[in-house]
């Protein structure tokens, strides 16, 4: 229906204006609980993952313990006399069996984890998309399309790794680390103290690094949102046409390049943050075996000097260093998961920030169906309706102010006035694209706020000045109004809209692809296809928002004939700029500064000699 006058748009990722427009949106809190809620529908697959992880982690500890027995009982048995080959063969067979079983379990675990994680991510994406679909029209007039697309693609995609791998990584690596620590304690508590002495320091350092990465991740997503917004605007058909006609291609490229440079810098910062930390962790954990050898030698020497057994054997040292080396990767993985969770918290916060926005227009708990009784269906009335757009300042005048009128079923009424007078807003309030700030909008005698939105919209048909067509075939664009429409129904609607003969003249007929926003068609052809789409819907109320004002004289006459046919048998409300198109209206309302200042038929208003007569004279 055309944009509201003076609408504002927020920059990439900045939703402060949206929060101001929707005070009911709660703050994002308790991210951990909300992320866990996403997994609730998949409790049983998660249980299977947990069991597989626990079994795999338990099996992973066996090889080092078997290694100890290989050295102490197989290769160098206490009784001497050379290797014990039967025991050695049994131990080696057991070790290989553990590897085979662990690998098989790992394949199953990866499959189940991938299915659960990707389904959770898919659910989150669909949930966010559905929530955005439910938002009021005003939300989209305040927000760049590219920013919204970025939330769906970049932000949800950014948490994909967390959703798909976190559960198995956390459980598996935690169990492995705990089991490895227990095995190390069983082998030698003295050596375990040496191996783990710096762990508290590493955990503290990891938390600080995570906070830095989370902050950079938020900035990175803001930059991605801005890049998506620039791409959506500059590379749309309209954007490219505008840039070419004003020779602004280089400026648009530089605008994108500047944000791209910012994005590169942020990506480099995000990649490098924590690298020094992980390098130090790796050096520490890699150096532990050498330290273990040194400490083991010292403990054995001390024990020999004092004449007692230290309990540290060659098998103990080999098994301990093997366990400790197996501790390296899961410990590093746990720290990386912790960092990923901290980093992803910024992305989850952005996603939940949108999910927490409350639509300004919702169905009441007791919302009912519209009245379809003969004599009532199609009636529209305003009772003292005043409306301000959500982003209007407290000192701004209302867009419409105390407007009242009645339209009986089947009547044809028109609203005329200068640009910015408020007539388009009246047309937006009828199908409840916005809610009145005060007063009552009624359909068939019922307050529209007490009706189900979908049911109300089913009774409404809207034809705007700039019809929107998908990059699809003509038939697919028509069936958007009625997915199960037959070919005969398509042709009947197209015939009423005076476009059927034009369609069949195309080489592919109804299977002709119209191009992005219908750019392969002329303005008149697009408008008539939009009219055919509305007629296929067969609404009781037809709202025409300056449906011919952008057309040339020839196309205007063709489309006007289609509109005249479309009005038959239904209530028609026309928002008109060209007065010649509404001379036959049952009643004409003249709107000025948000108020109805004149009403009557064309002849009555001309005889009155007021605002309408002046407008008519200007267009004569």
Which is higher by pLDDT, 567 or 164?
567
Work out the mean pLDDT of the chain and round it to a whole number.
79
pLDDT at residue 242, rounded to an integer: 64
Among 322, 355, 388, where does a domain finish? Answer: 355
Give the C-alpha separation, 546 to 426, whole Å: 13
Q: What is the CATH number of the domain that holds 461?
A: 3.40.50.300
Q: What is the DSSP letter of 403?
A: E
Q: What is the CATH number of the domain that holds 165?
A: 1.20.1560.10
pLDDT at residue 591, rounded to an integer: 92
Residues 300 and 449 in one domain: no
pLDDT at residue 25, rounded to an integer: 35
pLDDT at residue 14, rounded to an integer: 40
pLDDT at residue 549, rounded to an integer: 66
Give the C-alpha separation, 283 to 446, whole Å: 74
Residues 6+ apart with CB under 8 A from 594: 397, 398, 399, 400, 401, 403, 421, 422
Among 339, 355, 371, where does a domain finish? Answer: 355
Residues 434 and 515 in one domain: yes
Distances (CA, A) of 14 to 20, 25, 262: 12, 15, 17
133 in a structural domain: yes
User: How large is the average pLDDT for residues 219-232?
Assistant: 75
Residues 343 and 466 in one domain: no
- What is the residue range of 615's domain? 380-619
Indicate the number of domains in the chain: 2
Contact assessment for residue 183 and residue 323, using Cβ atoms and an 8 Å cutoff: yes
* pLDDT tens by residue, 310-328: 667 666 777 777 676 666 6
262 in a structural domain: no
Confidence bin at 385 (pLDDT 50/70/90): very high
Residue 505: pLDDT over 50: yes
Residue 29: pLDDT over 60: no
pLDDT at residue 541, rounded to an integer: 92
Distances (CA, A) of 409 to 103, 168, 459, 463: 73, 63, 12, 19
* pLDDT tens by residue, 329-344: 676 667 667 666 766 7
Which is higher by pLDDT, 381 or 208?
381
Give the C-alpha separation, 148 to 141, whole Å: 12
255 in a structural domain: no
220 in a structural domain: no
Confidence bin at 7 (pLDDT 50/70/90): very low
Residues 460 and 556 in one domain: yes
Contact assessment for residue 223 and residue 280, using Cβ atoms and an 8 Å cutoff: no
Distances (CA, A) of 491 to 293, 393, 478: 87, 49, 10
Please tell me the pTM assigned to this model: 0.70
371 in a structural domain: no
Residues 55 and 118 in one domain: yes
Residue 43: pLDDT over 50: yes
Residues 64 and 158 in one domain: yes
User: How large is the average pLDDT for residues 581-599?
Assistant: 91
pLDDT at residue 326, rounded to an integer: 65
Give the C-alpha separation, 400 to 421, whole Å: 8
Residues 480 and 343 in one domain: no
Report the SS3 class of residue 339: helix
Residues 124 and 33 in one domain: yes
Residues 6+ apart with CB under 8 A from 444: 370, 371, 372, 373, 376, 377, 378, 379
* pLDDT tens by residue, 577-587: 888 888 889 99
Residues 339 and 289 in one domain: yes
Residues 6+ apart with CB under 8 A from 233: 144, 145, 146, 239
Residues 420 and 286 in one domain: no
Residue 23: pLDDT over 60: no
374 in a structural domain: no
Kindly state the helix (H) or strand (E) to which residue 541 belongs, with its residue range. strand 541-545
Which is higher by pLDDT, 33 or 127?
127
* Number of residues written out for the chain: 620
Among 355, 389, 420, where does a domain finish? Answer: 355
Which is higher by pLDDT, 411 or 147?
411
260 in a structural domain: no
* pLDDT tens by residue, 177-189: 777 777 777 776 7
280 in a structural domain: yes
Kindly state the helix (H) or strand (E) to which residue 438 belongs, with its residue range. strand 438-443
* pLDDT tens by residue, 69-122: 787 777 777 776 677 788 888 888 888 898 888 888 888 887 888 788 888 888
Residues 516 and 575 in one domain: yes
Residues 589 and 482 in one domain: yes
Contact assessment for residue 528 and residue 561, using Cβ atoms and an 8 Å cutoff: no
Give the C-alpha separation, 155 to 346, whole Å: 9
């Amino acid at each position: 229906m055309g944009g509201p006058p003076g609408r504002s748009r927020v920059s990439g990722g900045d939703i402060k204006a949206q929060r101001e427009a929707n005070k009911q949106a709660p703050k994002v809190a308790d991210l951990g609980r909300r992320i866990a809620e996403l997994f609730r529908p998949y409790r049983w697959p998660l249980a299977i993952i947990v069991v597989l992880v626990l079994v795999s982690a338990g099996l992973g500890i066996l090889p080092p313990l078997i290694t100890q027995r290989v050295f102490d009982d197989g290769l160098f048995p206490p009784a001497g006399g050379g290797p014990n080959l039967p025991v050695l063969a049994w131990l080696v067979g057991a070790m290989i069996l553990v590897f085979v079983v662990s690998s098989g379990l790992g394949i199953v675990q990866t499959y189940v984890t991938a299915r659960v994680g990707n389904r959770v991510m898919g659910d989150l994406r669909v949930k966010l998309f559905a929530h955005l679909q439910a938002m009021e029209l005003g939300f989209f007039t305040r927000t760049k399309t590219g920013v919204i697309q970025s939330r769906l693609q970049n932000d949800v995609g950014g948490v994909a790794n967390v959703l798909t791998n976190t559960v198995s990584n956390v459980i598996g690596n935690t169990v492995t680390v705990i089991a490895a620590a227990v095995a190390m304690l069983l082998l030698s508590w003295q050596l375990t103290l040496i191996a783990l002495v710096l762990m508290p320091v590493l955990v503290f350092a990891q938390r600080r690094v995570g906070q830095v990465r989370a902050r950079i991740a938020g900035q990175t997503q803001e930059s991605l949102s801005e890049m998506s917004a620039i791409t959506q605007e500059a590379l749309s058909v309209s954007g490219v046409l505008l840039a070419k006609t004003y020779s602004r291609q280089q400026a648009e490229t530089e605008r994108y390049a500047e944000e791209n440079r910012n994005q590169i810098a942020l990506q480099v910062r995000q990649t490098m943050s924590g690298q020094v930390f992980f390098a130090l962790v790796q050096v520490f954990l890699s150096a532990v075996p050498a330290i273990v050898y040194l400490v083991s030698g010292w403990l054995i020497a001390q024990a020999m000097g004092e004449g007692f057994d230290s309990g540290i054997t060659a098998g103990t040292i080999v098994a301990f260093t093997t366990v400790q080396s197996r501790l390296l990767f899961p410990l590093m993985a746990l720290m990386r998961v912790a960092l990923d969770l901290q980093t992803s918290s910024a992305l989850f916060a952005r996603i939940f920030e949108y999910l927490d926005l409350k639509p300004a227009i919702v169905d009441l708990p007791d919302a009912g169906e519209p009245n379809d009784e003969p004599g009532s269906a199609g009636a529209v009335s305003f009772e003292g309706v005043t409306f301000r757009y959500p982003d209007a300042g407290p000192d701004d005048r209302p867009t419409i102010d105390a407007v009242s009128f009645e339209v009986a079923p089947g009547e044809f009424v028109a609203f005329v006035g200068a640009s910015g007078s408020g007539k388009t807003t009246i047309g937006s309030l009828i199908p409840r694209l916005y809610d009145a700030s005060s007063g009552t909008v009624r359909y068939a005698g019922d307050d529209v706020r007490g009706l189900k939105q979908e049911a109300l919209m089913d009774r409404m048909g809207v034809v705007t000045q700039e019809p929107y067509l998908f990059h699809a075939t003509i038939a697919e664009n028509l069936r958007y109004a009625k997915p199960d429409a037959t070919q005969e129904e398509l042709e009947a609607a197209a015939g009423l809209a005076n476009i059927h003969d034009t369609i069949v003249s195309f080489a592919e007929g109804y299977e002709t692809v119209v191009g992005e926003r219908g750019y392969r068609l002329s303005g008149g052809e697009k408008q008539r296809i939009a009219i055919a789409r509305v007629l296929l819907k067969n609404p009781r109320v037809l709202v025409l928002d300056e449906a011919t004002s952008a057309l040339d004289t020839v196309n205007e006459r063709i489309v006007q004939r289609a509109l005249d046919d479309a009005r038959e048998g239904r209530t028609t409300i026309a928002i008109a700029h060209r007065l010649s198109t509404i001379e036959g209206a049952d009643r004409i309302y003249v709107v000025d500064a948000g108020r109805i200042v004149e009403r009557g038929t064309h002849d009555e208003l001309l005889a009155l000699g007021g605002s309408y007569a002046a407008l008519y004279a200007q267009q004569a």
